[in-house]
């Protein structure tokens, strides 16, 4: 009996008792609906589990399968993604559903290479689908798995180093191949990293692998993985103008199809560079809108993966119906298009400021 199969059994025994009750775990891993696996895995990338738990059920209820999702308007998909951030994943999920309906008769292919060709599906997600939906012994490696394997092997590497990734994928493949339940094994391995072998203060006394873990053996857990070299964060400062017309409609424009907040809607904005702050009234002039006073309405700050974003809010109200403007539209407050949570907050601040001004006048 090899030690990896013994490790697998110990991990599964631990998982049976310790697995968290999560809404996508309705069937044992290995027999799960591939649609549910794809949706939950894409939602979980770069978003906290608790936030995904809040949104998953509503998404699956509205779009219960690949066909329903493929037929949906992408703006409806983005609206239901609100609060999860990184909206590019929602667009890719929608594109994957269209590809599955168009090229695979609405069913997820079982072949790992065909799975990997789907939009938004990389090596990790393909491994999750193959193992959790089809019980295939395909590995998966995320940040949690990398950390567990580096500690298990006692390798003091940063988790984004090529040597660390090569080791993690090789060992994850060996470990899952040695298990009789590859889907449950992969899920349990990620769960171990998320709940026991945590970045700080791992709970080694509760770990099913402590007796074969090199880091635990020489007490080097806190040195593994080594800290990553951090890229310098960029600051982005925007002046955002929230303009209502006499009907109470707000002026919005679509973001570009790529980049930050891709494809969502936002209010007209200009970027500040250096110390200079652009005059928000110039924005109205550039759109040939009637001039109207703009009141400062505070600011909204967001810390994104690579940027610190600061949005300064200006609010104004036209005394006439908003004119038609190319590439922009006026929206009723109850029928807003998909926006980032930061821009939703900007809108809230502006409404609050305009309401206060209205009471004063
Ligand atoms: Fe991680 Fe500790 Fe388990 Fe080793 S013994 S895998 S360091 S939790």
The domain limits of the chain are 4-140+170-190, 234-360
What does the block give as tokens for 316?
């104004």
Write down the CATH superfamily of domain 234-360. Answer: Nucleoside Triphosphate Pyrophosphohydrolase (3.90.79.10)
Element spanning 3, H or E: helix 3-18
Q: Does domain 4-140+170-190 have CATH number 1.10.940.10?
A: no
Strands 250-254 and 329-331: antiparallel
Closest ligand 1 atom number to CA of residue 202:
8
pLDDT of residue 1: 46
What is the distance between the alpha carbons of residues 28 and 267, in angstroms, rounded to a whole number? 45
Q: Is 161 considered catalytic here?
A: no
What is the distance between the alpha carbons of residues 102 and 48, in angstroms, rounded to a whole number? 32
Going from the Cα of 163 to the center of ligand 1, the distance in angstroms, rounded, reads 20
Share of the chain above pLDDT 90, in %: 77
CA terminus-to-terminus distance, the chain:
82
Give 283's pLDDT tier (boundaries 50, 70, 90): confident
Ligand 1-lining residues (CB < 6 angstroms): 148, 151-152, 196-197, 202, 204, 207, 209-210, 213, 215-216, 221
Give 54's pLDDT tier (boundaries 50, 70, 90): very high
Going from the Cα of 150 to the center of ligand 1, the distance in angstroms, rounded, reads 10
116: which residues sit within 8 A by CB, 6+ positions away?
122, 123, 126
With 0-12 CB in 10 A as exposed, 13-18 as middle and 19+ as buried, what is 182? buried
With 0-12 CB in 10 A as exposed, 13-18 as middle and 19+ as buried, what is 316? buried
> Which pLDDT tens digit goes with each residue over 292-324?
899 999 999 998 878 899 999 999 999 999 999
> Which pLDDT tens digit goes with each residue over 197-227?
999 999 999 999 999 999 999 999 999 999 9
């Amino acid at each position: 009996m090899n030690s990896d199969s013994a490790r697998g059994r110990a991990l599964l025994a631990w998982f049976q008792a310790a697995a968290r009750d999560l809404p996508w775990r309705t069937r044992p891993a290995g027999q799960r609906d591939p649609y549910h696996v794809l949706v939950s895995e894409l939602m979980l990338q770069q978003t906290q589990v608790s936030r995904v738990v809040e949104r998953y059920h509503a998404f699956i209820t509205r779009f219960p399968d690949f066909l329903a999702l493929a037929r949906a308007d992408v703006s409806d998909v983005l609206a239901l993604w609100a609060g999860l951030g990184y909206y590019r994943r929602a667009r890719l999920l929608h594109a994957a559903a269209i590809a599955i309906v168009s090229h695979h008769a609405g069913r997820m292919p079982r072949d790992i290479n065909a799975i990997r060709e789907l939009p938004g599906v990389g090596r990790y997600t393909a491994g999750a689908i193959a193992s959790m939906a089809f019980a295939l012994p395909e590995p998966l490696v995320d940040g949690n798995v990398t950390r567990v394997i580096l500690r298990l092997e006692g390798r003091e590497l940063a988790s984004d180093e090529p040597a660390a990734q090569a080791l993690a994928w090789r060992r994850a493949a060996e470990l899952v191949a040695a298990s009789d339940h590859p889907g449950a094994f992969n899920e349990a391995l990620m769960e171990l990293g998320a709940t026991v072998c945590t970045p700080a203060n791992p709970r080694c006394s509760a770990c099913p692998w402590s007796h074969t873990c090199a880091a635990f053996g020489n007490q080097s857990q806190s040195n593994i993985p080594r800290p990553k070299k951090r890229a310098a964060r960029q600051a982005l400062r925007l002046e955002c103008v929230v303009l209502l017309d006499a009907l109470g409609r707000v002026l919005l424009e679509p973001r570009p199809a790529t980049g930050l907040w891709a494809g969502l809607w936002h209010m007209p904005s200009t970027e500040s560079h250096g110390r200079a702050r652009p005059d928000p009234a110039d924005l109205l002039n550039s759109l040939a809108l009637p001039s109207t006073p703009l009141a400062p309405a505070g600011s909204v700050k967001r810390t994104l993966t690579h940027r610190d974003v600061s949005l300064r809010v200006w609010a104004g109200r036209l005394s006439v119906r908003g004119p038609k403007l190319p590439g922009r539209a006026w929206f009723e407050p109850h029928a807003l298009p998909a926006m980032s949570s930061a821009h939703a907050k900007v809108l809230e601040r502006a409404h609050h400021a305009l309401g206060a001004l209205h009471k004063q006048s």
